Each structure stands twice: as C-alpha cells, then as structure tokens.
Chain A
Amino acid sequence: MEKKSVIQAFRGRNKLDGVLLKMNLFAVFVFAGTLVVSAINYSGGTRTEPNSKSAEMDQPNRREISGTVRDSKNQPLPGVALIVKGTTIGTTTDSEGRFRLSVPVNAQTLYFTFVGMKSQEIPIAGNTVFNVTMEETTFGVDEVVVTALGIERSKKSLTYATQQVNVEILSSVRDVSLGNALAGKVAGVSITASTGTSGVSGDPRIIIRGDRSINGNNQPLIVVDGIPYSSSGGGLSSINPDDVQSMNVLKGPAASALYGSSANNGVIVITTKKGKSGEARVEVNSVTTFDLPYLYPDLQNTYAQGLNGIFLPNTDVYSWGPKMTGQTVVDWTGKETKLEPQPDNVRDFFRTGHNLTNSFSYSAGTEKSTTYFSYSNTTAQGVLADNKMQRHNFNLRLTAELIKNLNLDFKTTWFRQLVKDKPTTGDDLFSPMHQLIRMPRSLRIADVSDYSYYTAAGEYKQRVWIPNSTNVINPYWSMYGYENPSTSNNVNALLTVKYNFTGWLSLQLRGGMTAGNSDSEIKRYWDTQYVNSGKGGYETGFSKSQILNGDALLVFDKDITKDFHVNFNAGAEIRDSRGRSINSATGELSAENKFALNYGVTLTTTDAESRIQKQSVYGMAQLGFRNYLFLDATARNDWSSTLPAPYDYFYPSIGLTAVVSDMVTLPKVLSYVKLRGSYAEVGNDAGFAQIFQTYSRASNGPAGMVYPAGTKVPVNLIPEKTKSWEAGGQIHFLDNRLGIDFTYYKSNTYNQLITITSPPTSGFGSGRINCGNIENRGIEFMIFAIPVKRQDFNWNIDFNFAMNDNKVIELSKTLNKYQISSPNLSIGETWAIVGKPFGEIFTKGFVRNDAGQVIVDALGMPKVDSKANLYLGNFNYDWRSGITNTMQYKNWYLSFLIDLNWGGVRQSATEAMMMACGTSTESLEGRETGIVFDGVQEIVDTQGNKTYTPNTVNISAQAYAQLVGGRISFGAGEPYNRKADNSRLRELSFGYSIPLKSNIIKSLRISAIGRNLFYIYNGCKWFDPDVTYDVDRNGQGAESAFLPGSRTLGFNIRMTL
C-alpha cells in the first residue's frame, strides 16, 4: 500500500487546491451575475419579473377559460404553449390537446406557440372556450435559420446550402464534445475524433467540404450567438449542449463570406437559449453513459517471451520464445512459474469508463424581459485508470426591452474543465497501449500491476521485467509514472443593444469578451530511463487569452413596392485577440520526484505572446421579388494586423434563388421546388508575426550571441483567397412527405502561405511563400422522407450523402510536391502532389520486378524499398453518408443513426509493431515450419539479363516479422495498410415519455442511449477509422497505439418542472 503513497500525496494536494479555487471562482461569478441583474433591472425601468405568479394570485378579477388545440388534420396537439400576451400567465396543453387557464378579466390576446407550427394570436374578446387549429410550417421551407452575423433568415430565401442539426439529440445522446455528435449527420462534414476520446478529452477534427490549406488551418470557424468563439479549454467541447437552441452548419464560402476571413473553411453557427416568456420553467437533464472497451488488436496466446524459441525472462518486447505448454521456468520476478497463456493481460488493463452529466436550467420571463440560467456538471473517467475529467458550465442570459424599441440582451458563460492524465497514445514511452501491445505475451498482469516499490535506500522505483530500459516501461508506470493534469477556465460575456427606429430600420450594437486561461503540468517520475537523466522530470505551463469583439449592424428591411422587398445590412466590426503563454521544463530534477521548478537542474523556458487585430466593414443586400425570387450580394473589406500595409483585402459574393413552385404551377406531386446558385470569394490573413524578419539573442559567450530567424519571411505577402461557386436546389414531393436538397460546389484556394524548405545556401532553412491552388469539387444531398405520419405514429427518415473530389492543381514555381505534416511516427508519409488529391500516402513497399512479383534476396528475405515510394491511397473517404430514422409511437420514441463511409486508407503502426514483437496472431504464421515467402529470386547473367525463379528458401518467422514489422524507419509499411471503409450504428436513443398528472413535474422522459454501438463493417477491424492521433495536423490516416475501440451505452432522464 505504502508504495503508492508518493503519487497519492501529490494528487491529494491538487484536489484540495482545485476545490478551493472552484469555490472562490463560483462566489465571484455569482456576485458578478447578481450585480449585472440588478443593474439591468434598475436602469431598464421595467423590472424583470420572473416570479410574478404570486402577484397574479392576488388579482381578484379573474376568469376561467379553456379550449382544445388541434392540427390541420384535426388531431389534438399536446404540449402547445399558450400565454396571455403581455403577462407571464400561461400553460401548456395536455395529452388530449386541452388547456384550462385562469386569466385576468382585462386580458386581451392569447398567444399559442408549438415547434413545427406557425405561432398564432387569438383575441380573447370575452370568449371562454377556444378551439384553435394550428397550421404546420412547411417542412424545412418556412424554417428560419440563423446565418452570418446572427441574421435570422427564412431558409427559403437562402442562395447557398446550410444544414440544421437536431439539437435535442445532441443533448440526450451526449458526447464529450458537441463536435463528435455531428458525425454522420451533416452532409459534407467529416468528423475525426481525437484518440483520447474514450472518456474524456478534446475536440474532434472537423473538415467541411475537404481540405483547402496545405499547412494552415482547415477546420471551420465556430460562431456562438453571432461572435466567433474561442475557448482555452477547447472549442465545441466547452459548450453545454443543453444550452444550444440551434446549430447550423454553413458549408460554403457563400454562406460564410460575411464572417470574414476566418470563415473560409465553413462555419458552425450556434445560437444559445434565451429565457421564454411565460411560466417559469425548470429543466433537468441527466445523462449517464458507460464506455466499454471491446475491440482489441489480435494478440497471440501461443508463444512466450523470448527470442528464437528460447524463453528469456528479461527480453524487453519480444514474444518469440517457446510455445507455452505449462513448462516451468524462472520468470523475471525470480519465481519459478509455469509458462501459460495470459489471454487477458491487455484486456484487464482497461476499465469501464463513464460519463455523468447533470444539467439544470431555469427559464422565465415576461413579454418584456426574460431570464435563462443553466448549470451543467460533467464528471467522466476514461478507460485508463488514471484518466478523469470534470467540467462545469454556467450560463446566464438576460433579455429586456428597456424602453419601447430598445432591446438589451446580456449573456455570460463560465466554463471550467479539469483533466487528469489525458491519455498518451502513439509511439511514445508513456503511451500505455504502446507498452501493452509489445508486452511479452506470457507476462502475468498481476505481476505487472504491482508496478512500483521502494528500494532499501528508500528510492521509489518502477517494477519492470527489464529494469533501466530506454525502450520499455511497465504499462502501469506509463500511466502512474506520468501525470499531466490540466485546468482551463473560460469566461464569455456578450452584450447586445438593439434599437428599432421603425418597423423596418434597426441598429444593433454588440460587444463581446472572451477571457480564458489554462495551466498544465507534466510530471515524469524518477526511474524512467531515457527521458529523465536526473531524479524525475517536470514541466509546467500557463497560458491566457483574451478576445474583444465589437460590432455595429444597421438593418433595413422593407417592402419597397407590392412586389419588391429589400433587406439591407451594413456593419462594422473590430476584433482584437491576445494570447500569452509561458512554459518551463526541466528534464532533470535535483531531488527525487519533487515536482517544482525550484528543483529543476536546467530549465528551458519559452515565453510567447501574440496579438491580432482585425477591422472590417461589410454589407449585405437582398432583393426579393414576390417572395419567390431573391438576389443576394455581400461585400466585405478586412484590415488585418497580420498583413503588410495597407493591411486590407476585399471579397464579394453574389447569389440567386428562385422558388419555382411559387412562380409557376407545377404538377401536384411536386409540393415545393427551389433552385439556387451563388458565387463567393473569401480572403484570409496570415498568422501572427509572420512578415517581419526577426533576430534572437542567446546568452552563450561574453557578448551573447545574436542571430537572425531561420525562416525567410515572404517578401510581398498577399492574402489567401478562396473562390467558389455552388448550385443546388430543393425539391419536395407528395405533400412535403419526401424531399431532396442537393448541391454541387467547386472551390479553389489560391495564394496559400506555406512554409517550404529553402536552399540552405540562401541562409535560411525554410521560407514562407504565397502559392498554390487547391481545388475541391463535390456533391452533397440530403433526402428526407416521412413514410408514416399518423396521430400516434410518426416515422421520419433523414439521409445525407457527400462526395468530395479534392485536387492539388498547383503548388509553387519550384515545387510539385510537398510533404504534409504527418502524425508522429506513422508508417507512412503524407503528400500534397500536383494533379493528385490532397493527402496521398506512401510507404516503404517490397521491391518487385516488372511482373509485379516480390523479389527476395539469396537468403529468402523479401527486399524492402529503402524509401517510402509505394502508393497506398488517400486518407480521405471517397464518399460519406448517414441515415437517421426517427420514430414516435404514442409516448415511445426511437431514433438511430447508421453511417457508411467508403474509400480511403489507414496505416496501422500498432499492427506493424506487434508483428515485429511477435505479439500478434499474424506473427504466428510459420513459427514451427518457417516461411517460404511468395516471391522470386532474381538471377542476373553476364549480359545483365534478369530472369526470375520462384523462391524456395525457407526463412524463420521471427526474421521475416522483424524485417516487415516495426515503424517505417526499419520496417515495410506495405502489409499494414488497411481500407477505411466502414459502417456502424453510430447513435441510438430509445425513450419513453411518462404520462404524468402532476402539477410539479410537467414532463418526464427516460431514454436508453448508445453511441458507436457496433460496426456493420469495418475495414480497419479493431480500430476506429474515424479517430486520429492528432486533430491539428493536416496529415491524417495513421493509427498508432490507439486505445481499444469502445462503445458507449447509457441512459438519459429529462424532466421539466
């Protein structure tokens, strides 16, 4: 027991600090929130009265009204909200569509709202019984979507493709990141999860309509409530799904042009909830899920630790020993033991992860002011025993009409995340899976799990079968001997003031602030060879960021004549981002496991600071004709501090939409037809401080040493530009029971700023140049169908499909191929090659003759190319698709998503490594008999003529495996290329709404939920092709010691009070 105390002592301290800090910050937050609320109430003049119910009770003059709400087919509608206009008095209809309400005698109007129905106002006019029929909004047609700058527009008038995401499912079938939950749902969007996701870690890699940038950012901009979002604790994962009102994916530049330069990779627009007028409403949502690892690489259970068939108790990573038959040997612990298979020694290392999320929200309001508050708490533990995460999200939103026509909207959120020991994957000493897949197959996990001890001298050491190895550490030590806790905080505040001059002219001013900080530590315990030369290693870093955003928007929206409608927006924006980070590390401590910089033997400190300011003016005009023909134009000019003077660049867009079904009479089978086309350009600025040639000073020598930076800055940097056009349409059939939305697009990205290798004689190792032309063309379509639509049974099907064809048209004058940053130690190289799609992967292959036969050498070993010349494929899928079925029967609800992705390849470094180590079932072949490799011997005669004879030389399985296995530097990548084709049951939710006659609980739904339940087919067998080693690298497609594939199962309770 005592042996673990060192580590536990450190953990204990951190826990206490964390709690104290949490309490403090929470107090500050509550105080600030209270101040803001009272300030608003005071200055606004009209008091927010979220709890005015008690006042109503005192009203003597009341009367009862009642009624029934039905749909156009005369079916009763349960759950319809109704409110007495101008008050908070309201209720909802019961399961029979009936309502009963006590209203003041002077009440004028009833207001009815329901999702999917057009809202209605009904004058009371002395009536006591109301039979209301609500009309459905046409499916996806009259929908209002939030577009650029938070402008709400009817979907019908859009000239480009966007796709709304069903937000309800996001908050019930929950994932650690909102981003992961998009997988399979949105046409043209590719989601690749981060390897650490089992349980608890970061955001996925999101790519919309293909990669554009060779070594820049390819991921979309995230916009929350109109303002580009950034969080020190992650992007989408820092947003509480319960707070999301709507989520809309803007895919092409035409949609995103108004967001400016950051938006050329598309935009994910998120609108968060506001309080609702009417009765106070409390929602409680509780999600409990379990992560069950179930997919492991194929491990052999026949041969023991050792080499050449001989048992060697201290060999580091090899299972080339004798067959395990229960023979008695002396193992590494010094015990006499029987050599027996240990089939579960990898499996037993992992545990079931879990994720508990509880969120609470409160919403109330009058017609003039609303309040929304939510708190969400997530506690998760990963499949690795040391991996935990805790997350808190607070959100306070207040809206008020201060005086007539002047509206105020205030929001503040606070996000805090603590991650303990984010899993290390890949070919890293501290990657547990890397240790496990190489661990000799005869090791007993019980011997290994006892991972540490104290020496007689009191030194804390790891227990491992080969002490002092630079190659192997105990897998438990790779978890417990390496701690990397991190904390991040993010505070976001947004204040919007909008004044309506008249019904058609308004001015909106908005200010936003995001401030975040994060800190992290890495503690490497002593007795880890190679990485620590002293008594342990330590690293700590702190970073903070701040973004200030201010914008003004003038909106003109008016029918000019009976036929023409004009919508005009003009705005200006300023955005100022600053960041600072300090990191200090020591590879060596002067005292055993004292993790503080004071004990650093030599410290390496980096200090980085950045500031970027962007100013913009923009305008958007839409001319509508008879509400069926719309012409859109936008223009934006940006000034960015990252560019050389005069800093600015301009980009326009134009689009046209025609709702054909409103223009001409079409056959009855066509209920809705819309066609659209648009062209857009988006510019992009550079990164921070990339245009000035700088110098550094090192402290070596009596005068120090001064030297210029080794990267040549671009001489005349010009902004990157993406030009794109798209055309598409929407056709609905059979009374809107079936519909298709399709798009064809083409985009070209020019003048990318890329870093190339310079001739060393130029004095620079690298240089940044503007160059290139990357093209993406593709089609997307979404089909919806409503096969059944009855009173108590509804069935909806949503299908999406996307195919993107990427091509590198040009790189630079001197370059026709460029190596893309690949995942660490993969077994392939990733390239951008002119004339080919982005992301072509090559590896070392076998040497073949003209007939394609593998040439073996005189000893019978296949020859392996010395360079990565063998083409394997591309990491992108040829196409992606997903189908969601949603069914509702009475109070029962079922939804499931199956996705299917085809084409593309992955390389498994794990399998290559296991082969070399003899731990995979693949390595069993020929152990007893040897292998005669299926190849040919090359015979060259004196004239130089080559002839080939079939190989007959027998080689040992071990020698063969060690030739082809391992990483690219010493193996052959060819046998470890996998097709990425896959289909899985991605998401499932099965729920029941419990009918209640309670006054307290208004609704209660219980669901069983699951994610990644099983593969219908997986070309990669045991690992998830949609998981990546590093979300930020543009080179993808490599698997390397990923955590075992897992499925998520759980339940969700959702309650409204």
Chain B
Amino acid sequence: MKKDSIHRLLLKMFSTVILICSLYSCTDDFTEYNTDKTKMMAVGPKELAGLFSRTQYEGINWLTTDNMSRMSSTVALHLCGYTACGIYNQEALIMNYGWHNTGFNRIYTSAIPPLNSILDVSRNGVNDAAYNVALIWKVWLMHRVTDIWGPVPYTAAGNGQEEIPYESQKDVYYKMFDDLTNATNTLKSELQKNPSLNVFGVGDLIYNGDVSKWLKFANTLRLRLAIRISNIDPVKAQKEAEAAVANPLMEVNNDDALMAMNQLSSGGNGMPRMESFYQDIMSASMESLMKGYNDPRIDEYWSPVAYNSVIDAAGYPEVLKAQVGGYHGMANGFEQIQVNYFKSYSKYGPRFKDGKQLVTPVNIINSAETWFLKAEGAWRGWNMGGTAQSFYEKGIEISIKQWKGATFSSSTIASYINSTALPVAPEDYPYYHPAMTNIPVKFSGNKEEQYEQILTQKWLALFPISFEAWAEYRRTRLPKIYPKKFSANALVNPSLGQIITRLPYTTDEKNTQPAQIARATEMLGGLDLETTPLWWDKNSN
C-alpha cells in the first residue's frame, strides 16, 4: 500500500470519528434516554377512567381484601356493634397500631394520589364533570378519615411536600361542605346542558359514569355530614342540610352507591374473604333486634349457624352445640377462653359467603340512609319537606327492598313498619343479656323514643357500612348496643359507658412529621388517645 492511500485512510478514520462525536455531542435526547419505558410519563384525558377506578378501589381497599381484617373487621365492625370480632385482642380493645397505620397510609398513599392526578388534569374548567365528581369522591374518602382520627390533612393531602399541615376537624368539615357545594352547583348546571352527562364511563365502578347519580350522591353525603355536626354546630348543620335536600338525593335503590367488583380480576369485596375466617360473627345486639322485630333482612345479613368440628371437642358447651341451624349472635367483649366458641354463632349471609369476592359489590352509601337523615332533620325541626315519621317509614321500606328486591311483598313491609314487637333477649352464652332495648318498629309518639327509633333503624339499614355506623354510634350512642363485657384496654371501662372514640395518630406520621402531630393533638383538644372524643362527639367518655 502506498503512503498516499494510508493517509487517505487515516483522514477517513478521523473524519468518521469527528462525525460520530458531533452526532452525539448534544444533550437533546437526554430526557428521552432517562425515560423509563415501562412507565407512563404523564397522564391525560384517556387515563382519567383508569385513575378514577384506582382511587375508588384503593379507597375501599381497607374494607376489602388484605385490610379487611385490619381496618374493618377488627375496628369498625365490632365497635359499631354489627359483629363480634374473632380475634381476642381486637375484641378486648387492644389497639393494633400497625394495622391502623396501614389503613391510614392506604388512603393517603394509594387512594389520594390518583385522585389528585384527576384534579390536576381536569381543573380550571378543562373537564368540569371529571373535576367535580373526583372532588365528591375526595370528600367521601376524607370524611371517613377525619371521622376516625379527627384533625387530619385535607387541603394539602397528597401534595408531595415534606411537611403536610393537619387541619382541625371543624376546618375539614367546612372545607368538605365548600367542596360539595361547589361540586353540586357545577354539576347541576352541567347536567342542565346535558342531562345524560357521563364521565369516566366504565372506569367509574359505582355509577358507570352517570353524573346525575353523582349529584344525588353528593347531596346525600352533604346531608350526612350536616347531621353529623348537628350537636356541635347546629346552625351550620341546618343550613347545609336544608341546602342538600333542596337538591336531588339518593332516594330509591336504583341510586344505591354500590361499587361493582364483577369486572375485577383480583381482590374484590373483603367481606366474603373474611367470612371463612370466622372473624366477623353476628353480634348479640343484632340478634336482639332482628329476632325481636322478626326482621325480613335477617337471612340476607346472616346465615344460620353451620356445623364446625370444634364443637365436638370435649368440654364444648352443650348449649352452644345446640345453636347449629339457628341465627345466633355473640356478646361483644369476650375473654380469651371463649375464642373457640365463635364457631357456634352466625356468620355473614349468602351474598357475603367466601367465593363471592368478585360477585358482591361493596356498599358505599345505601339510599335508605337518605331517608333516615331526613327523618332526623325533620325531627330536629329543620325544613326537610316532610315529617320525621314519613321519612322514617320510607327509609325502612327502601332498606328492606334493597335486600329483598323491589317486588318484595309490600304488606310484609307494612306489617314490619307497623309492628309493635319488641327486641328479644339474645341467647348469648354465657352472659344471657336481656333485650337490647324496649322500642318497637312502629313510630312512637314520644319524641325521645322517636330519636332512638330513627337511629336504631338507620343502624340496621346502614349494614354493612360499619364506619358510618360507628361514627353515628359515637355521635348519638345509639342504638343502645350492649356494652362490651370485657376490655383489656386500661383506658376503656365498658361498664362506665366508655368506648373507643377514635384511633390514635399513626407511627409513620409521628416519625416523619412529629411537629404536625403535636399541632394536630392540640387541635384535637385532648390527648392523642383512642378515648378522646372527636369534635362532633359531645358525649363524655
């Protein structure tokens, strides 16, 4: 090879290298390189449905699957008196902070972030329907949180800052009212323009995107919140309640907010999952009422006691063996020795049997509740557009139809409504309580009895929405469920009427923002304990 050609080769090599260098010597593509192809970099209109499914599902996840036992079965279900809990520690009121921590985190870290994404994508008139339906869902999520812990972050929830300010429960309530007011006003005018307005479509696991249903949901929720603060802030309560009833409400079972599980591939309704574990057992209070009233819903809520081999064990009480085949409730607050006795009491009804996880929808708000809320408003003398009795009776009718079907015998319903039968003494070995209370279903002439009737029937109608039933029990101490027989928690003496009124702040929050927890405790107005009453709870404890 000649020298010339070598030089030419060299020149070529150099220019190639320089070319390659100049091609690469630029950072234009860096953002693309640094992009994880397995992830989405942004969300837009077409992700709204998926985001909404996620916030909905994660929002009820503590009532389902893995957290069922943590937050629902072991907290609200037995604290509100629906069930006895099959775990001694929980039934004996020993706090399981780890579980509460997980439940609290689930809302803030799993349900709130996709919700905030919807708000971010749709705010400022970009998509009013999406924005406001999401806002309504936020109020639903957060009202449960504040009703469990008290002062919590509402405005700043999920904003990603290093410190998230807690707000007093009163502030949280006022902000929820504001959000519901704005949302209902906007949706109302949107619906006037387009009565069949739909948002999120099948991504909305509750109403399939029907905005008119969400408007009703928001008004019933607003009414629920108004009633909740009726003892502590009656003026605001009345104003909000009257505004709510001037708008469409969830009145018939077609409006029921039920989250569909039948299109999920995993997870689903947690009640059937827990059913097989014998952790949720019909309570003695339930037995006293439902048996006494001859309640037609009993076979929907509960099952007859099934045979279980533990009863064959030596020394198993004969009286409990005899319960097989009947409906039986267990006393709350049992001692450790009785754990196995569980197996001779009633478990959930047929739709909550194990295996129905992806069949039975999750109850979010039952329409019957609207009528009991209106009944209480009317009972308080607020303008609810009718009498307390008419609302009370309508509520019972709607509730029975919810479980027994729209075609259920109206005469049976009427005879239930007009029944003067009283609750009975449950056969709750070994305590054998007397009847839980002495009020019939038939609406009383006595104002005080009316109140107890409204709350007692609402309690039956709220089933299985335990967190709402627990909140209302704390506000009203009604129905007069049996106090726990035993408490291993030094702060709670059930015989003095003491109950768990909230959950203490979680360890993760205490570790990551102690200053805010100190502020929150100050706003709570008492120690950060499970026995400190919340703002709207005026009962002594």
Footprint of B on A, CB under 8 Å? 43, 45, 402-403, 406, 497, 499, 509, 550, 552, 572, 574, 576, 607-613, 615, 639-642, 645-647, 688-689, 691-692, 694-710, 712, 757-765, 767, 769, 813-814
The residue in chain A whose Cβ has the minimal distance to the Cβ of B55 is A707
Residues of A within 8 A of B202 (CB): 702-703
The reply to whether the CB of B205 lies closer than 8 angstroms to some CB of chain A is yes
Residues of B within 8 A of A611 (CB): 33-34
Is A695 touching B42 in the complex (CB atoms < 8 A)? yes
Is B105 touching A765 in the complex (CB atoms < 8 A)? yes
The residue in chain B whose Cβ has the minimal distance to the Cβ of A574 is B24
A39 to chain B, nearest CB (A): 12
Residues of A within 8 A of B47 (CB): 695, 697, 706
Give the complex CA separation of A759 and B161 in angstroms.
Answer: 9
A410 to chain B, nearest CB (A): 13
B375 to chain A, nearest CB (A): 36
Among B6, B20, B51, B109, find the residue whose CB has the most chain A CB atoms closer than 10 A: B109
Residues of A within 8 A of B265 (CB): 699-701
B151-159, B248-256, B447-455, B476-484: which lies at the interface = B151-159
| A-contact 0/1 string along B196-211, CB 8 Å cutoff | 0000111101000000
Question: Contacts A509-B17, A688-B34, A760-B108 known; A615 to B24 CB distance under 8 Å?
Answer: yes
B110-118, B331-339, B348-356: which lies at the interface = B110-118
Question: Contacts A692-B35, A699-B265, A760-B104 known; A705 to B57 CB distance under 8 Å?
Answer: yes
Is A695 touching B203 in the complex (CB atoms < 8 A)? no
Give the complex CA separation of A763 and B9 in angstroms.
Answer: 61
| A-contact 0/1 string along B91-122, CB 8 Å cutoff | 00000000000001100111011101100000
Interchain CB contact (< 8 A) of B508 among A552, A689, A759: A759
Is A706 touching B205 in the complex (CB atoms < 8 A)? no
Interchain CB contact (< 8 A) of A710 among B1, B37, B109, B157: B109
Is B37 touching A609 in the complex (CB atoms < 8 A)? yes
The residue in chain A whose Cβ has the minimal distance to the Cβ of B49 is A703
B26 to chain A, nearest CB (A): 8
Question: Contacts A552-B21, A700-B266, A760-B506 known; A641 to B34 CB distance under 8 Å?
Answer: yes
Interchain CB contact (< 8 A) of B114 among A550, A609, A642, A708: A708
B25 to chain A, nearest CB (A): 6
Question: Contacts A639-B27, A759-B508, A762-B160 known; A692 to B34 CB distance under 8 Å?
Answer: yes
Residues of A within 8 A of B512 (CB): 757-760, 814
The residue in chain A whose Cβ has the minimal distance to the Cβ of B517 is A759
Give the complex CA separation of A931 and B166 in angstroms.
Answer: 53
Known: A572-B21, A697-B40, A760-B508. 13 other contacts (CB 8 A): A43-B1, A45-B6, A406-B10, A613-B24, A613-B29, A695-B39, A700-B57, A700-B265, A703-B200, A707-B58, A710-B113, A759-B162, A765-B105
The residue in chain A whose Cβ has the minimal distance to the Cβ of B110 is A707
Question: Contacts A639-B27, A642-B34 known; A761 to B509 CB distance under 8 Å?
Answer: yes
Is B30 touching A703 in the complex (CB atoms < 8 A)? no
Is B53 touching A759 in the complex (CB atoms < 8 A)? no
The residue in chain B whose Cβ has the minimal distance to the Cβ of A509 is B17
Is A608 touching B3 in the complex (CB atoms < 8 A)? no
Footprint of A on B, CB under 8 Å? 1, 3, 6, 9-10, 13-14, 17, 20-21, 24-25, 27, 29-31, 33-43, 47, 49-54, 57-58, 104-105, 108-110, 112-114, 116-117, 152-153, 156-164, 166, 200-203, 205, 263-267, 506, 508-509, 511-513, 516
Is A761 touching B33 in the complex (CB atoms < 8 A)? no
- 8 nearest interchain CB pairs? A763-B158, A706-B50, A703-B203, A694-B39, A641-B30, A703-B49, A689-B36, A705-B54
Residues of B within 8 A of A698 (CB): 54
25 A-B pairs whose Cβ atoms sit less than 8 Å apart in the complex: A574-B24, A688-B34, A689-B35, A689-B36, A692-B36, A692-B41, A695-B39, A695-B117, A696-B39, A697-B47, A700-B264, A701-B53, A702-B205, A706-B114, A707-B114, A708-B113, A757-B511, A757-B512, A760-B509, A761-B152, A761-B158, A762-B162, A763-B113, A767-B160, A814-B513
The residue in chain B whose Cβ has the minimal distance to the Cβ of A760 is B105
Interchain CB contact (< 8 A) of B263 among A43, A642, A702, A765: A702
Is A702 touching B35 in the complex (CB atoms < 8 A)? no
Give the complex CA separation of A640 and B162 in angstroms.
Answer: 27
Question: Contacts A641-B27, A641-B30, A700-B267 known; A761 to B153 CB distance under 8 Å?
Answer: yes
Residues of A within 8 A of B203 (CB): 701-703
B518 to chain A, nearest CB (A): 14
B73 to chain A, nearest CB (A): 22
Question: Contacts A574-B25, A688-B34, A706-B47 known; A763 to B39 CB distance under 8 Å?
Answer: no
The residue in chain B whose Cβ has the minimal distance to the Cβ of A715 is B160
The residue in chain A whose Cβ has the minimal distance to the Cβ of B10 is A406
B145 to chain A, nearest CB (A): 10
Residues of A within 8 A of B114 (CB): 705-708
Residues of B within 8 A of A758 (CB): 162, 512
Residues of B within 8 A of A613 (CB): 24, 29-30, 33
A385 to chain B, nearest CB (A): 40
A920 to chain B, nearest CB (A): 32
B408 to chain A, nearest CB (A): 30
Give the complex CA separation of A698 and B35 in angstroms.
Answer: 19
Residues of B within 8 A of A761 (CB): 108, 152-153, 156-158, 164, 166, 509, 513
A1052 to chain B, nearest CB (A): 44
Among B40, B105, B153, find the residue whose CB has the most chain A CB atoms closer than 10 A: B40
Residues of A within 8 A of B104 (CB): 760
Residues of A within 8 A of B153 (CB): 761
Residues of B within 8 A of A700 (CB): 53, 57, 264-267
Residues of A within 8 A of B53 (CB): 700-706
Is B33 touching A762 in the complex (CB atoms < 8 A)? no
Give the complex CA separation of A691 and B35 in angstroms.
Answer: 9
The residue in chain B whose Cβ has the minimal distance to the Cβ of A403 is B6
A529 to chain B, nearest CB (A): 21
Residues of A within 8 A of B49 (CB): 703-704
The residue in chain B whose Cβ has the minimal distance to the Cβ of A706 is B50
A44 to chain B, nearest CB (A): 8
Give the complex CA separation of A550 and B267 in angstroms.
Answer: 51
Give the complex CA separation of A853 and B113 in angstroms.
Answer: 51
Give the complex CA separation of A757 and B205 in angstroms.
Answer: 32
Question: Contacts A647-B27, A703-B202, A764-B160 known; A607 to B38 CB distance under 8 Å?
Answer: yes
Give the complex CA separation of A767 and B508 in angstroms.
Answer: 14
Question: Contacts A609-B36, A612-B33, A706-B40 known; A763 to B27 CB distance under 8 Å?
Answer: no
Give the complex CA separation of A645 and B30 in angstroms.
Answer: 9
Residues of A within 8 A of B112 (CB): 763
The residue in chain B whose Cβ has the minimal distance to the Cβ of A548 is B24
Give the complex CA separation of A481 and B264 in angstroms.
Answer: 36
Among A694, A705, A760, find the residue whose CB has the most chain B CB atoms closer than 10 A: A760
B100 to chain A, nearest CB (A): 12
Residues of B within 8 A of A704 (CB): 49-50, 53
Interchain CB contact (< 8 A) of A763 among B41, B160, B162: B160
Interchain CB contact (< 8 A) of B201 among A691, A703, A712: A703
Give the complex CA separation of A576 and B20 in angstroms.
Answer: 13
B65 to chain A, nearest CB (A): 11
Question: Contacts A403-B6, A759-B508 known; A697 to B13 CB distance under 8 Å?
Answer: no
Is B13 touching A497 in the complex (CB atoms < 8 A)? yes
Among B9, B30, B162, find the residue whose CB has the most chain A CB atoms closer than 10 A: B30
B513 to chain A, nearest CB (A): 5
Question: Contacts A550-B21, A701-B263 known; A706 to B36 CB distance under 8 Å?
Answer: no
Residues of A within 8 A of B200 (CB): 703
Give the complex CA separation of A517 and B202 in angstroms.
Answer: 43
A510 to chain B, nearest CB (A): 10
A368 to chain B, nearest CB (A): 14
Is B161 touching A762 in the complex (CB atoms < 8 A)? yes
B263 to chain A, nearest CB (A): 4
Is A688 touching B36 in the complex (CB atoms < 8 A)? yes
The residue in chain A whose Cβ has the minimal distance to the Cβ of B514 is A814
Question: Contacts A694-B36, A706-B51 known; A762 to B42 CB distance under 8 Å?
Answer: no
